[in-house]
Amino acid sequence: MPHNSKIRVLVIDDSALVRQMMSQILSDDPDIEVVGVAHDPYMARDKIKQLEPDVLTLDVEMPRMDGITFLRNIMRLHPIPTIMVSSLTTKGADVTLQALETGAIDYIAKPALDVARGLQDFSDEILSKVKIAASVSKETLKRKAESMHATQKLSADAILAKNTRAKLFKTTDQVIAIGASTGGTEAIREVLSSLPHNAPGIVISQHIPQSFSAPFAKRMNASSAMTVCEASDGQQILRGHVYIAPGNAHLLVERNGARYVCRLNHGPAVNRHCPSVDVMFRSVAQNVGTNAIAVILTGMGDDGAEGMKELHDIGVHTIVQDEKTSIVWGMPGSAVKLDAVSSILPLDKIVGKIASLTR
């Protein structure tokens, strides 16, 4: 998108009321222009060719072609950053998760009752998500789509060899390592917003597009008493600071004398993800040892489970979000199945547990 130009949005929804409300909310922002609306994917396909929008808002459930099928076609043929609009029903949530795995950047919840008022109440969130989506490059979307269809699923060995003799030294410094995927951006916000300004240094690997990680870190910094940033290579891990993996690099923790530092690795995707939680956890096991606390929040798939097992086996206290409060219990559930978990907790109890384990 050219510098200083407005974000061009195409609104796709079979509800005339939703099209009207979304258009009104978006058009009220001086940085956004609604270039068109469409009531089904076939009309949307023609308007995409004609109008060349920067961002799509896409209804999950539509006539003639469902939103997931249309999204797959978009990502394969003409990738455009897309925000899904979904109902809060169980079926709607399941389809939305599929959309996020297919390549959607984020989603907007469509209330079941009083849709107009509900959307208006969340106008700030809608505008924020559209602006973040606009910052995601089409090249990033293409790479994500390609990685999703990769037949080979690599393990953490592709980045860091397993070392059974972990460094079990004790120092005064602790490191908290957090991994998450689907639903993780909000779960991470809840955890960080509740931690004190002087909590131990935190490293986070969230499955996220490359252009999304820096704005995400900025948003977390605004809602946390700690200092939150996108991690850079060689950056020292300090108490009161949070380091979020860039969306195109694995985040590892290394020991440098008496200090812990961030290392970025641009190797292949692990468990089809870059950054990978397994890679980060393995580096923490080898370089932080029992000075670590490991957490897996909501997420689809199994990334992080093997790495958490390695940490658990050397005596690290490991925590996963429980099934009830997770949007999807894939990653936490996989760790539980491996007997890699010390504590299974609802999201609002995780910070209290971390506090009881930190000095």
Q: pLDDT tens digits, residue range 9-46? A: 999 999 898 899 899 999 999 999 999 999 999 999 99
- For residue 136, the model assigns a pLDDT of 79
Q: Which residue has the higher pLDDT, 3 or 291?
A: 291
Whole-angstrom Cα distance, residue 105 to residue 119? 19
Does the reported pTM lie above 0.75? Answer: no
Strand partners, 86: 109
Query: What SS3 string covers 161-224?
Result: CCCCCCCCCCCCCCEEEEEECCCHHHHHHHHHHHCCCCCCEEEEEECCCHHHHHHHHHHHHHHC
Give the amino acid at 89: T
Whole-angstrom Cα distance, residue 145 to residue 286? 32
What angle in degrees, to the nearest 10, is found between the helix axes of 184-194 and 210-223?
Answer: 30
The pLDDT tens digits of the residues spanning 300-333 come to: 889 999 999 999 999 999 999 999 998 788 999 9
- What is the share, in percent, of the chain residues with pLDDT greater than 70? 88
318 contacts 294 by C-beta, under 8 angstroms:
yes
| Token pair 């606390």 in the structure block, residue | 293
- For residue 2, the model assigns a pLDDT of 45
Instruction: Look at residue 144 and tell me whether its pLDDT is greater than 70.
Output: no
Lowest-confidence region among 11-25, 66-80, 227-241: 66-80
Average pLDDT in the chain: 87
Whole-angstrom Cα distance, residue 170 to residue 269? 32
Whole-angstrom Cα distance, residue 17 to residue 114? 11
Q: Nearest Cα to 340, choosing from 353, 314, 169?
A: 314
User: Which domains, ranges and CATH numbers included, belong to the chain?
Assistant: 7-148 (3.40.50.2300), 156-357 (3.40.50.180)
**Which positions are annotated as active-site residues?**
181, 207, 303
Cα-based distances in Å from 221 to 26, 143, 226, 240, 261:
25, 28, 7, 11, 20
| Token pair 């940085």 in the structure block, residue | 31
- Specify the length of the chain in residues: 359
- What is the share, in percent, of the chain residues with pLDDT greater than 90? 56
Average pLDDT of the residues in 332-352: 97
335 contacts 309 by C-beta, under 8 angstroms:
yes
Terminal CA-to-CA distance of the chain, rounded, Å? 47
Instruction: Look at residue 89 and tell me whether its pLDDT is greater than 70.
Output: no
Q: Which residue has the higher pLDDT, 161 or 306?
A: 306
